[in-house]
Amino acid sequence: MTKITVAKGDGIGPEIMDATLKILQAAGAQLDIEEIEIGEKVYLNGNSSGIASDAWNSLRTTRVLLKSPVTTPQGGGFKSINVTIRKVLGLYANVRPCISYHPFVQTKHPVMDVVIVRENEEDLYAGIEHQQTDDVIQCLKLISKPGTEKIIRYAFEYAKAYNRKKVTCFTKDNIMKMTDGLFHKTFDEVGKEYPDIQKEHWIVDIGAAKLADTPEVFDVIVMPNLYGDILSDVAAQITGSVGLGGSANIGDGFAMFEAIHGSAPDIAGTDKANPSGLLLGAIQMLVHIGQKEVAETIQNAWLKTLEDGVHTADIFKSDNSHRLLGTQAFANAVIERL
């Protein structure tokens, strides 16, 4: 039994979490679940961080969080829960595999197996903004040496562990010569310790263009926080659906697992959402806590479900090759194939 913390979140969060937990349980995952409340209700209760203290207590004990998307209310007073948790728990690496499941999932990019390793604590996400004059507002982009070294080493170690051939780095160091320059320089330096892995660097504009057009030429890509935010959404979406992206937020003592996508309030409560992103995050979690076999069992059953043409609405194609199911029925279809 591994103790984990679970947050069902907002919008479609509760539905996709129920679906995911049902699959994990049916597959025999050894989990002792502690549920916490974060998000909308907590915010509206007057807590501007969206996270109450008993949630922190749970996280300090379990050190592992499986989290549904949450909604941050509009307006200046509320902090992003994602950013707070990443920062407080030191979750410096955000690992986002973006894989095509052609021909089972329709995509313009049938050959795609990219892992985006996103720096997860620094950059413009530090959230330091201020109004300098009536007319000018500033935001600070922070890049640190230790933070940069850590994420770049993580990307190379990940490539090594998963037998990946190439690590690419994206920066805009032709403009930000010091901040992005440090990221690029550190990539070159740390890269030398990994002679068997191919290395390349692209300026993020043309790199992003290549990623959107010919994702098949990439393998692992490491980049600063904000580029990683934008380009992991791009990469997940062009595999066929942003609903297929899972995400691992890794730190030295803590980890959080989630879907790449948001809380989609427009379809909340309609049993339409795809639970796959969160499920794939949960599979990363099972590997992380040492339950690799259960992780593989679920992964295979999920793949078999796609191969059988069983899909939620975001993937469904109305040409008789696909069967359309709701969130919970999709989860049951995965369970049948375990």
Q: Given the structure tokens 């975001």, which residue do they identify?
A: 314
| CB distance 330 to 20 below 8 Å | no
Residues that bind its own copies (CB under 8 A): 72, 76, 80, 83, 108-109, 124-125, 127, 129-131, 134-146, 172, 174-179, 181-182, 204-206, 208-210, 212-213, 226-227, 229-234, 236-238, 242, 261-262
Residue 231 interacting entry, from ligand IPM, its own copies, none, C-beta within 5 to 8 Å by type: its own copies
Nearer CB in complex with ligand IPM: 82/332: 82
Considering CB distances under 5 to 8 angstroms, the limit depending on partner class, which of its own copies, ligand IPM, none binds residue 90? none
Of ligand IPM, its own copies, none, which one does residue 136 interact with (CB within 5 to 8 Å by kind)?
Answer: its own copies
> Closer CB to ligand IPM, residue 173 or residue 219?
173
Which letter does DSSP use for residue 38 in this model? B
| Cβ proximity to its own copies, 129 vs 293, nearer residue | 129
User: Which is it for the CA torsion 164, 167, 84, 68, positive or negative?
Assistant: negative
Query: By C-beta, is 61 or 140 nearer to its own copies?
Result: 140
265's contact among ligand IPM, its own copies, none, with CB below 5 to 8 A by partner kind, is none
Rg (CA), the chain: 20
Could you tell me the smallest distance in angstroms from the CB atom of residue 146 to its own copies?
Answer: 6
Dist. CA 250–CA 18, nearest whole Å: 24
Q: Which residue is nearest to ligand IPM (CB)?
A: 80
Nearest distance from C-beta of residue 124 to its own copies, angstroms:
6
Minimum distance from residue 228 beta carbon to ligand IPM (Å): 8
CA distances from 327 to 89, 160, 174, 271, 316 (A): 31, 36, 46, 5, 13
* Distance in Å, CB of 224 to its own copies, minimum: 11
CB of 54 to ligand IPM, least distance (A): 23
In the complex, least distance from residue 229 CB atom to ligand IPM, rounded to whole angstroms: 4
Work out the number of other CB atoms within 10 angstroms of the CB of residue 280: 26
> Using an 8 Å Cβ cutoff, are 243 and 312 in contact?
yes
25-53 as b/e, with b when 16 or more CB fall inside 10 Å?
Answer: ebbebebeebebbbbbebbeeebebbbee
Nearer to ligand IPM, 33 or 83 (CB): 83
Nearer to its own copies, 111 or 175 (CB): 175
194-228 CB burial, b ≥16 within 10 A, e <16? beebebbbbbbeebbeebeeebeebbbbbbbbbbb
135 contacts which partner out of its own copies, ligand IPM, none, CB within 5 to 8 A by kind?
Answer: its own copies
Residue 141 buriedness (CB in 10 A; 0-12 / 13-18 / 19+): middle
Q: Please, what is the minimum distance in Å from the beta carbon of residue 174 to its own copies?
A: 6
Query: Smallest distance from the beta carbon of 32 to its own copies, in angstroms?
Result: 33
Four-CA torsion 316, 317, 319, 321, nearest 10 degrees:
-50
290 CB neighbour count, 10 Å cutoff: 11
Q: Which residues bind ligand IPM (CB under 6 A)?
A: 80, 82-83, 174-175, 205, 229
Residue with Cβ nearer ligand IPM (13 or 191)? 13
